[in-house]
A and B are shown apart, each in its own frame.
Chain A
Amino acid sequence: MTLIYQLINGLQLGAIYALVALGYSMVYGIVQLINFAHGDIIMVGAYVSWYIIAKMNAPAWVSVVAAIVFCALFGILIEKVAYKPLRRSARISLLITAIGISLLLENTSQLIFTANPRMFTNIFSGAINIGERSVSYATLVTIVISVLIMIGLTVLVSKTKIGRAMRAVSEDNAAAQLMGINVNNTISFTFGLGSALAAVAAILYCCSYQQISPTMGSMLGLKAFVAAVLGGIGSMPGAMIGGLCIGIAEALTKGYISSQLSDAVVFGILIIVLLLKPTGILGRSDKEKV
C-alpha cells in the first residue's frame, strides 16, 4: 500500500516536472538554448496567482487565467528583448544571457516580495480516501490536468498549422523560412506556450506545497531540465517520460532511502542514462560532419 501511495506521489511530482520539462524541450528544439530562466517563470506564475488571490481577493479561476496569460506574454517579452538579438552569436553567450535573466527575475522578485516565503492557499482543497491513506484532490487534479495538457499539446504539435511550423523551424530554421513560415512568430509562440505550461505547473505545484519564495523556481527548474535531458532534449514525448521517471525516482528515494539523498539519486540516474545513451531516452543522434 505504501508503494502505491509513493507511486501516486511520484506521479504527481513527475507530472509537474513533465509540464516544465516540455517548456525546456520545446524551446531547446527550436532555438537550441537551455533556457535557464524557464524555472523562474514558474516563480513568476506562482506570485501572480498568489497576488491575485491574496491581495485582490479575486476568485481562483481568475488567478489561474491571469497567471497563464501573464506568463505567456512574459515569456514572449523575454525572448524578444534578451534572446532575439543574440540569435546569431555563440550559443554560450545566449546561455549566459539566460542565466542573467534568471538571476534578474529572482532578485527582482526578492526586491518586490522580500525573501520571506508566502503561503499559497490550496485551490483544490479536500481529499479522498484510497485504502487506509488519503490522497488529496490537488494530487489527483495535478495528474489529470497534466495528462489532458499533454494530449492537447501532442494534438497541437502534430495536427495544427502552428504545430507544423514549430516542427519545421526546429528541423531547419532557414529552410522553414524559405517555405514561407514566419520564424520569428513561431519562436515567440513556442516561448509563450512553454511559459504558459510553466504557469500551469506553478499553480499545480503551489496547491500541493503551499509555499512560494523568489528562489522556488531554481531547483524545480533544474530538475525539470534534468528530466528533459533524460528523455532526450528536443523531444516532447521524451520530456513527458523523463519528467515521470524523475518524479517517481524522487518519490521512491524520499520514501524508502533518504530524503537528503533524493537530489543525488536524480542526478545519478541522469548520469547513468547519458552514459549508456548519450542523447537521452528518446533523443535523436545527429551525425556530425567536418
Chain B
Amino acid sequence: MKHTVFAKTPVKYILNTVCTAAVITLLVLLTSGGALNNYQTDLLKLIGINIILAVSLNLAAGFLGQLPLGHAGFMSIGAYAAALFSKSVALPANIEFPMALLVGGLFAAAFGVIIGLPALRLHGDYLAILTLGFGEIIRVIIQNMTITGGASGLRGIEKHTSIFWVYLMVAATIFVITTFIRSRHGRAVLAIREDEIAAEASGIPTTRYKVMAFTISAFFAGIAGGLYAHYLSILDAANFGFMKSVEILVMVVLGGLGSIIGSVVAATGLTLLPELLRGFSDYRMVIYSLLLVVVMIFKPSGLFGKYDFSLGGTLDSAILWLRSPNKFHTVREKIAKLKSKKGGKA
C-alpha cells in the first residue's frame, strides 16, 4: 500500500530506534551540559522511574485485565535485591549497575511467579486483595529483617542512577511490553482480558499466560526498584506500602487501561503535578485528589482510553494530510476498514 510508508515493519523499527536514541542523547546532553539544574535532573529521573512502574503495571492491569494492588511490593524486592547486590560487589560502576538492575528484576520476577501462581487462580477483587496482602507482608518482612537494615532502612547505596540508565530502561520497558502485546503471546493475554472462559475454551492455557504477564510486569517493577534504590541511596520499606501501589495504579487508570502512551503521560503528569503545586504546598494533595475524582467522573476510561501512539502511523497520517487534505478522512476510513477485515493486523 502506498499510504503506509513509515508504519511498515523494518522502517518502523529503524525510525523508533533513531528517535529513541535521539531523545536519550538530548536528555543526557541537557543534563550534562548544565541546561537543567540538579532538582530538574532528579525530577526527570523520578519521572522515568514512574513511567517504568506505570507501563509495567499496565501490562497486568490494562492488558491482562487483573487488578493487582501489590506492585510496590515487587518494586521493593527489586530495590533491596539490587541495592544489596551493588553493596556486596566491587566492580566498575558501568558493569556493576546493570548487573544490579538485572538482579533486582530477576528477584522481583521470581516473586512474581511465586505470588502469581496461587494468586491468579482468584478473580477480580479477591485477586486485588490477595496481592495487597502479599505486598503488605513483603513490607513487614523487609522491615523486620537484619540484612535489609530493618526499620531504620538500608543506607549507603551508591548513587549510580543517571539519566542515561533511567531512560534506557524506560525505552527497554516500553519496547519489550509493546512487542510482547503484539506477539502471539500478547494476543493470548488480550483474549484472556476480553473473556477468560472463552479464551480457555479456545485452547489458550490461561494460567500460563496470566503468570507470564504478571511475571514480566513484576520484572520491570523490580528494575524500577533498582533504579529507585540507586537514585535515593537510602531505602525505607515504609515507602513501599499500600499507598505506593495505589499511586502507581492511579497513573495507569488515569492514563487509560491498555494505553502505553496514556501511562507515560499520566506518570509524567502525576509526578510533575505535586512539584508544580509546591507554591500551594498546603493544598497540593487536596488538589491532587480532587483532580483524580473529577477526571474519573468525567472521563471514566482514563485520559487516553485504549488509544495508543505509533510514530510511523502518525507520520503516515501527516504525509497523507499534506498531500490531499480533502481526501484524508476518506482514506483513513478505508485503512480502518482494511484493518478490521484483516483481523486487526495492519
Binding site for B on A (CB under 8 A): 28, 32, 34, 82, 85-86, 89-97, 99-101, 103-104, 107-108, 110-111, 218, 222, 225-226, 229, 233, 258, 260-261, 263-264, 267-268, 270-271, 274-275, 278-280, 288-290
- Given contact pairs A271-B118, A274-B122, a sample of 20 additional A-B residue pairs in the complex whose CB atoms are under 8 Å apart: A32-B125, A82-B293, A86-B296, A91-B124, A93-B253, A99-B246, A100-B290, A104-B293, A222-B132, A264-B137, A264-B140, A264-B141, A267-B133, A267-B134, A268-B133, A270-B130, A271-B137, A274-B129, A274-B130, A290-B201
A229 near B129: Cβ-Cβ < 8 Å: yes
B297 near A82: Cβ-Cβ < 8 Å: yes
- Distance of B77 from chain A, by nearest CB (Å): 15
Are A107 and B300 also in contact (CB < 8 A) when A229-B126, A290-B201 are?
A: no
Please tell me if B88 contacts chain A, counting CB pairs below 8 Å. Answer: no
Contacts of A258 in B (CB 8 A): 144
A-B residue pairs, 9 tightest by C-beta: A89-B300, A103-B289, A100-B292, A267-B133, A93-B300, A100-B293, A104-B289, A264-B140, A107-B285
A90 near B300: Cβ-Cβ < 8 Å: yes
B253 near A96: Cβ-Cβ < 8 Å: yes
Are A111 and B136 also in contact (CB < 8 A) when A93-B301, A222-B242, A229-B129 are?
A: no
B297 near A278: Cβ-Cβ < 8 Å: no
Contacts of A264 in B (CB 8 A): 136-137, 140-141
- Give per-residue flags for B115-133: 1 if the beta carbon is below 8 A from chain A beta carbons, else 0: 0001001111110111011
CB < 8 Å neighbour of B143 from A90, A95, A260, A278:
A260
A-side interface mostly: helix
Please tell me if B254 contacts chain A, counting CB pairs below 8 Å. Answer: yes
A258-B140 Cα distance, complex, nearest whole Å: 12
- Distance of A52 from chain B, by nearest CB (Å): 24
B289 near A107: Cβ-Cβ < 8 Å: yes
A107-B302 Cα distance, complex, nearest whole Å: 23
- Distance of A264 from chain B, by nearest CB (Å): 4
The contact sample of 14 A-B pairs, CB cut-off 8 A, is A28-B125, A86-B296, A97-B297, A100-B250, A100-B296, A104-B289, A108-B286, A229-B126, A229-B129, A261-B144, A267-B140, A270-B133, A271-B134, A271-B137
CB < 8 Å neighbour of A278 from B121, B253, B285, B290:
B121
B257 near A92: Cβ-Cβ < 8 Å: yes
Contacts of A93 in B (CB 8 A): 253, 296, 300-302
Contacts of B124 in A (CB 8 A): 91
Contacts of B267 in A (CB 8 A): none
A278 near B122: Cβ-Cβ < 8 Å: yes
A270-B134 Cα distance, complex, nearest whole Å: 10
Contacts of A267 in B (CB 8 A): 132-134, 136-137, 140
